[in-house]
Structure formats: structure tokens, C-alpha cells
Structure 1
């Protein structure tokens, strides 16, 4: 810290105090966008010995990279940018983080209020841009000696505590007056001495904690023991770092289980563990229409399948929703009992009840019939998802794109095969942008190999992030990206609106693009293409067993995909 703290002027001193207090709270992963107004923050971050900076020119891609880091890191990533529209580019990833229960610290530099109020250059009302998508907003004054370093640190620590407790983004807005560079401007001796003393304090100024352990209520426990037909549903558990404990508890609970892809646990279980195929299979819906559960216990957030929520609206089941956040997560308008607590503590309470109920149907023949149909057809999305899950090593992290990709992966279920692959998704608001940047953010936390599967339109949304992949290749990261290219956004072809052929292209946005030339323009990226099942399996096996950044473009036929999806719905159990 030879050059730290920076004391040339009050803007740089405040930036140093804020960065140091962030570091004392273990906020040391700084995702930085360039700009002059946030130059004091960038300089302070650069010279602080505990802070790691990740700089990128595109704020939207940068924010998705921070989002990816937040999914796997024990500490909270920080995003910082200059004033004006820069922070507006953070908005999609902040919205996704907020809906997914992932904490981020957003530190935006601003111009002083007198400039904002008079329409000075590069000014907007920065406080309102993301206010609806954060759990706490701290609007600081421009640096002045009326606010002591101790009080400033208290404000920063308190904001960080809100992010930690609520598992949501927090916004800190910092107006800064010139000079923003190393130009000297006097600070009073008394203020500077007291400010410098604050750097010597051990630990954070304020430490926030929250405890939500659940103790099973006697009446609820009795009701569950007496129930004849329970369905345990596990929804989105984004941001949970202790999934192995969830897995242990679920293995001990002997009731039918519906595990959503976004739980991160789906592939650790098979039919032998009382796993139920998801409700996108009409045959599964039919069984549960005929044998409705007495009680559904829904752990975590929203599911991928809308058919599950349609089912809830049609059937008057008692539904106990257990979540650690006060979000409704109830598109089926069906909650009858909501419990806000640590979901794992609730599951541990279920274990003690020693429940034992067999599924209404043994699904083995049904699953194997569908598996055989997928293998018989051409290279399709169901084939790709099935073969990736059955062949990927347990040491991999898997990031699944949205639209038909996530549904194809969510539909997969195995009779007897289990995989411990870690699965990630962006299902807070289910946008299709930012996945390549999210992948790089995941890789910032560790050197585990990682695989991303996304569609062609989704990849187009994130072309700027190819520069990030190039950096990852130069850093020795082991990343594989599979682009499923059927030359359009094909989910609309699976919906009733597909009958309206005349204006359908306005939804599907068809194109003729392949991605070989643009990918080959970046050093260190290995590109390969396939159009058959055999070639796909060979390329994926080679990529997953090799080092570096590998990109596979899998060309699929939209008509073949549609025909297979329809054929899979004709299988009888």
C-alpha cells in the first residue's frame, strides 16, 4: 500500500476510505468500467493491496460477468462505473441478480447535485434508474469535511450489510467534484489526520448478521405425517453454496420429488430416488390430475415449467412454500402457507419426520421410451442436452442458456444415472443476453472447467463478450461454449402463435449467419462446427477433455426439432 491511501484531494481521499471499508468487509472483487468521473475509485482500487480489478469496456457484459461471479463466490462482487448512461447498461444484470437472490454492490460515480439539477453534460437521475431492483440505496453527498471518515465508513458498512442479509443488489451513488486526478487540493490537517487513523482500524466498521433456522411446528409435522400423498418440489436455489447438504437431506426424504433444473440438484437424482419427470411431459400431468397430492411442499423459487403453475391453478392442493426471501414466487396463485426461513433447516426438519411414500407411478419404461426416440432422430436439442448430461464429468460447471435450451435440459430425467455436475442458469427474469459474460464471471472464482450451452440468438446478444473469452484463453481458463444454431429463435415455433405464419418472422428473427469468421478473429479461441450426432459427440468429447477455450457450433434443423418435440408428446407410459 505504498501509494495508498490517496490524499491528493478530497475526492481521492473519500474514494480511498470507501474502497478500504469495502475491502475490510471482504468486498475485494471490483468489476470496473472505465470513465473519468469514477477515476478516483479506480485509482483507489488499483492501489489497494487486497483489491482485484476486472476491467471491461462494455458495462452490460461487465455486469453479467459480476453476476456470474456472485453465483459461486462467498464474497460479493462490486460493479463501478462513471456517470450518465453507463449505469443504465448495468440494469439487465442487476434485475437478474435481484430476482435471483444474488447480492451485488453497485458503486456509481456521479456529478454533484448542482450539476445534475442544471442538466450538465453526462448527467441523469442515477438514483431512480435501478431503485426498484435493489434492496437498499445509499445516496452520498459530494465529498466534504462535514462528514467524518468514521461516519462515512459506517454508511458503507451498513449498505454492505443490507446486501449480505437480503441477498440482493445494493446501490451506492457517489457524487465527486473535480479534481478527479492527482491534482493537489488542500484538505484540513485535522480532517486528514482523523481520516488516516481510520485506515488503521482492524475489521469492518459494522458487521451485519441474520439467522433464520426453522424448527418444525408440531401441528405441521403431524399434518405431514398423516398426509397420504405428498409432492416435494425444489425450485430455484440460485446462490446457494451448500447444495451438497441439500442433496444429503433430500436423499433421506422418501417422498416423490420434482426437482427443477434451476435448483442445481436435478441431475444428482434419478427415478430410483423417487424423482418425478417434470410437468412439461403431458403424461406426467395426466397422472397427477388423476392422483392429486394432499400437500405440495415447494422449496425455493420459481420453476421453469409453466405447466406446473397451470396445474396448481386447476387443482385445489394445499401448497406450503418455503423460501428464504419475501418474494411471492407464486405464478399459480396457489400458496396456502408461506414459511420464510433457511430452506435447508426446513428440509432437515422433514428428515426427522421419516416420511416414506412411493411415487404414484414408476416412470422407468416411460423415460426409456423417450430416450430411445431421441437417439433415433437427427441432431436435435433434446439429443444435445441428453448427451451432455450423460457424458459430462462431475468436475464441470454447466451454465444453461434460456428459451428452448433451458426447457430441453429441464425435461431430462434419468432412470438410474446420477451426475454431480454443478448447474447454473439465469432464470431471475429469464433474459437471453449476457450468458458468455456470465460464464467468464463463473470462471473468475476458480479454475474448474466450465461448459455453456446457448442458442444462436442468445450468442448474438453477447458478441462483445468474445473479448472476454479471449482474455480467459490467455489466462489459461478451460471453457467450452456450445452454440445451437438453427438460424432463428425457435421457441416461438413451439407456441400456439406459430400458426400465424405471416408475421412470425418478427418473433423468430430468422438469419443465415454462421459464427466461424467472427470467432476466428479472436486469438486463442478454438472453433469447430458439426451437423450430425456422431460429429457432435466427437467434438464435445474432445473439447471437454482438452484445455483452453473451445467453441462448438452445432447446426440443427428447426423442422427436425419441431417433429421430435411433437413425437415425444405421443409416448404412452
Structure 2
């Protein structure tokens, strides 16, 4: 097949085209680009690697690379870009793209592709990549083949993609970029006179009339403020605390809301609501007349069941991006506005309820603290040790299954800032190590992971990406999927074979094979080991083994006491 341009010129054209794209990414706020090696993506990889304002990291496995990029975006709040070659490489991104979609994390997917004449004709390493991720992407397009007169357009498409990854609903975007061979440039030319657009995003002020109606419905009436997991951006802790004070309302703060920790007024934060609501008598006494929700749905099943039973009252959901996080289908008011603006606007319009309602919550939380101090499962003590020991401003990534539930049940909060996050969009156990390492690449504060043994094993290959990073992994090893001991599957005869799946993996040998520092620890040693690891260089793994049957018996005794006292 003949082309109008000489082969040498086409290779340089590819590179200049890729440079224009990278310049658009820079203008759109991208700092990190994660590259997985491949031939068809050569122009993109070279342009990103040579760009003076982009930081690149090469990760062999595309699945690891995608979760790594997810972690970097979670920690930095900036979109992170991925580059991969054509073929199945692009499909490896799907699990992380799903998480980014549901958790509202900005990712920019740059897939290199064969030119149109090589598709659907049996050409090697060629799959259908256009719109591969469907409605998980906020913006998806195939760029034209490189053309010298369209450098500015390529740059603009990249800026547009970066902007769409942030607003109006943060999440992944996809640019499919075809290149004809040859792919290796000779002169490495740069396009002239690129002037990428400047981006800004609005702050959505709440509708005053809607605020008036909501304020009238909740003013002087007992109600609860429920703060669920962050959805891409931090919740306004100070403003919510001030509003709660104005209303005399308790704040039921999920650990992933990050309202349990910090210097804001936490006097009305109820951290132990899950344990408190296990007492049916108390749950009946504190039926509210309204619920005001910020963030995603809470982790706690107990709290969600309590909310599900609150028919016939006002349920107000605050979400600046308008995604209805309401699987209970109870929302009566959606305030599609900046959460801080909503909290401030309502605070200036409401009057407080009687203090008796708030005091009931405080008294029950005090009683719950006494019970769990007397009847503490070992994991409660470990959660206390971990969260009280971690340095100020630590980023703590929790695994799903039991770790996030243990934090929900037992983490009481602290005054020193601590940011807890979790891949809670799709709640998978995949990619957690890669996410942790991506977070470590994008920030300077300590980064710690709290994972179970199956979560570690599921993503253990991502330790290959640990070189040059600082992070600590605390693995609570209960010999399999301990979460299923707490679920209805526990009574099945196939419980171990199909659900708890105890492993026989030699964790120390595998971890050390990746060059990661391995240290077995015990509850008595944990505080010292956490302090040492958090202040050291490199990646360390602390391995704490638990007896699953003992843990289950301890939890059952606690649940029994909470149910009756």
C-alpha cells in the first residue's frame, strides 16, 4: 500500500502528533503518565518520556499499570494518563476503569492502534478498541491518523479529554490513537505554535429556593447527617461540623468520609454507629425525622438497614455531580451543588432541635465503647494500634472485605489528620497493591495499606512495580476469606472449598523475591514495626497472622452483648 509521505517523514509525523497530544495532557493538568511497553505505542511513549513536564513510569503489566494510575489519581486529585499498545493490552485496563468510573477517579486512557486498513482483516495484534469501555468513560473518541495540519486539533482533543476526566462527572476518558508504520522517529520534530486551551471548573452554588424548602423541613426537628465515603473529592469536614452544631444533629461518619479524623469539631461525630444500631431497642428510640446525606452509600450494612426502614421522612442527598447514590430509592431531595455551599447555606437557615436526641446517640456511643473495651476482638486492638500509631497526614488504603469493615466497626477517630481510602467503587479485592504503589508515587506523606491475605495474593505480582517507592503494607492473614465466616455462606458444607479458600502460598518467599522487606509481626510488636516502616525507605510488608476461629468467636460474643445492652 502506498502512502503520500516518505516512510521517514511518516515516523517523524507520528512523533510530532504524539507530542501534540502530550502537550494537551500537560495543559489539562496531567503530571504522571504510566507506560506499558509495546511497539505500536512507540510515538506516544517516546513523546511522554521526553516531555519535560510529564513524569513517566514504565510498568510491564497493563492491569497493574491501570490500578497504579488509579492510585496516583486518588492521591493527587489530578488525572493520570495510561499508554498501551494495541491488542489485548488495552483490555487489561478494564477492572481499573470500572473502579475509576464508579469511584469518580480521573483517568486518561491512550490506546495505540493499527490504522483502519489493518482492522477486521486478520492483521496481527488487532482488536476492536474503539468504545471498548462503553459507558464507563465520560469521553471517548478515535483520533484521525496523524496529519501535519491538525497538530492543534490533536492537542485540543487531549485537553478536552483531560477536562472531561474532571468535570462534570469525574472518571475515565479514552482516546484511541491509530498510527501507521514506521513508528520510530528519526529527527524527533516538535510541532510549532501549539496553544492549548486553559481549563477551569465551576463551583456549583445551591439553589436558594431549594435550600429554603429543605431548611424548613429539617429545622428544629431531630435528624441525622450521614457522611459516606468520599467520591473523588474530600468532603467539607469543617462546614458539615458547623451545620451539625446548628442542628444539634449527630454526624454518622463512615471511615471513608474522613470526618472521624482531623482538627475540625468532632464532638458530634458518632463513629460507632454500626455497633450502636445493633441494639434494636436503641435503633427504635432514635428514629429520625430527616436524613441528610453527603458522599456515597456507607459501608455499614447495619446502618443501611436502619436507613431502609425510614419510610415517610425527608431524605436529602447532596451530590455536586448529580449521580444518584441511592440504592434504597428513598431520596426526596437531590441538592446538585457544592457540598460546602450546601452546608453553609443550610446552616444559615436552620434552628436546632432539642439536645435530647443528640445526647441519646452520644450516650449509646459511650456505652458501646465500654462494651468493646471489655469484649474486644483482637482486630479491634489492631485497628486501635494502627490508627493511633500512624504519622500525621498518613494515607491509609484499606482493602475490601473484612479490613474496611473492621475500620468501620472499631476506628474511633483521632485529632491528627488521617486520610483513609479504599477501592470502594466496585469493592473488588483486585489491584489493591498496585493502587497503594500508585498512591505512593504521587505524594510525599506516608502511605500504608491494610489488606487481607487473599487481597495480597490476588495482586501480589504488582510488587514488581515497587522499585523506588516508599510504602508499608500491613497484611492481616486469617488464612483465607474470613469475611465469609460472617455471611450466610458460612453454614454451607462447601464453605471452605468455594468461599473461604484457605491458601498455602509461601508469602515470605514471594514477597522477598520481589525485593520487598518482609517482617512478621505480632499485636505486641505492631506499634513499633508500623512506626519504623512508615519512616523508612522502600516498601515493607508486615505480616500478622490471626486465628480465624478465635476471631469469629470473639466477634459473636461482641455482637451478642451489643444486641442486648
How far 1:354 moved relative to its partner? 5.5
Equivalent residue in structure 2 for 1:558, among 548, 556, 565: 548
More moved, 279-288 vs 59-68: 279-288
| Cα pair 2:240 2:340 within 8 Å, conserved | no
Matched, 1:517 2:509: yes
Cα distance per residue 1:52-106 (max 9 Å; x no partner)? 1011001111111111111122431111111111111111111111111111111
| Cα pair 2:258 2:420 within 8 Å, conserved | yes
| Cα pair 1:72 1:239 within 8 Å, conserved | no
Equivalent residue in structure 2 for 1:441, among 438, 442, 457: 438
SS at match of 1:258: strand
Q: How does 1:9-88 map to 2 (within 5 A)?
A: 9-88=12-91
How far 1:372 moved relative to its partner? 1.7
How far 1:241 moved relative to its partner? 4.9
Equivalent residue in structure 2 for 1:212, among 194, 200, 204: 204
Structure 2 unaligned runs (5+)?
A: 1-8
SS at match of 1:320: strand
SS at match of 1:331: coil
SS at match of 1:471: coil
| Cα pair 1:398 1:423 within 8 Å, conserved | yes
Cα distance per residue 1:305-347 (max 9 Å; x no partner)? 2333322332213211111223221121211111211112111
| Cα pair 1:22 1:156 within 8 Å, conserved | yes
Cα distance per residue 1:157-202 (max 9 Å; x no partner)? 22222112121111111011111112589xxxxxx9xx83333x3x
1:96 corresponds to: 99
2:467 corresponds to: 470
- In 2, distance between residues paired with 1:274 and 1:241? 17
Summarize the Cα distance change of 1:51–1:554 in structure 2 as closer, same or farther, 3 Å threshold. Answer: same
Cα distance per residue 1:218-255 (max 9 Å; x no partner)? 222222214x2110001121332575655664674541
Q: How does 1:409-558 map to 2 (within 5 A)?
A: 409-414=407-412, 417-472=414-469, 477=470, 479-523=471-515, 525-530=516-521, 532-558=522-548
Matched, 1:307 2:297: no
Summarize the Cα distance change of 1:245–1:176 in structure 2 as closer, same or farther, 3 Å threshold. Answer: farther
1:154 corresponds to: 156
Equivalent residue in structure 2 for 1:238, among 231, 242, 247: 231
SS at match of 1:143: coil
Cα distance per residue 1:507-551 (max 9 Å; x no partner)? 11112334111122233x321113x42233443344345444321
Q: How does 1:27-426 map to 2 (within 5 A)?
A: 27-144=30-147, 148-165=150-167, 166-182=169-185, 196-199=191-194, 201=195, 204-205=196-197, 207-216=199-208, 217-226=211-220, 228-241=221-234, 243=236, 245-246=238-239, 249=242, 252-253=245-246, 254-268=248-262, 272-275=267-270, 277-279=272-274, 281-283=276-278, 286-316=281-311, 317-353=313-349, 355-357=351-353, 358=355, 359=358, 360-361=360-361, 362-373=363-374, 375=376, 380-414=378-412, 417-426=414-423
Q: Which runs of 4+ in 1 moved over 6 A?
A: none
More moved, 56-65 vs 461-470: 461-470
Summarize the Cα distance change of 1:539–1:48 in structure 2 as closer, same or farther, 3 Å threshold. Answer: closer
SS at match of 1:79: strand
SS at match of 2:93: helix
Summarize the Cα distance change of 1:68–1:243 in structure 2 as closer, same or farther, 3 Å threshold. Answer: farther
- In 2, distance between residues paired with 1:152 and 1:539? 50
| Cα pair 2:277 2:303 within 8 Å, conserved | no
| Cα pair 2:33 2:82 within 8 Å, conserved | yes
More moved, 296-305 vs 348-357: 348-357
- In 1, distance between residues paired with 2:269 and 2:16? 60
TM-score by length of 1: 0.88
How far 1:279 moved relative to its partner? 3.1
- In 2, distance between residues paired with 1:540 and 1:52? 30
Summarize the Cα distance change of 1:42–1:286 in structure 2 as closer, same or farther, 3 Å threshold. Answer: farther
1:188 corresponds to: none
CA RMSD of the aligned region, Å?
2.5
- In 2, distance between residues paired with 1:154 and 1:231? 46
SS at match of 2:192: helix
Cα distance per residue 1:444-476 (max 9 Å; x no partner)? 12221121110000001111121222332xxxx
Summarize the Cα distance change of 1:355–1:548 in structure 2 as closer, same or farther, 3 Å threshold. Answer: farther
| Cα pair 1:373 1:568 within 8 Å, conserved | no
| Cα pair 1:154 1:206 within 8 Å, conserved | no
How far 1:351 moved relative to its partner? 2.7
Cα distance per residue 1:10-64 (max 9 Å; x no partner)? 2222111111122222323111111101100011112211111011001111111
How far 1:142 moved relative to its partner? 1.9
Summarize the Cα distance change of 1:310–1:273 in structure 2 as closer, same or farther, 3 Å threshold. Answer: closer
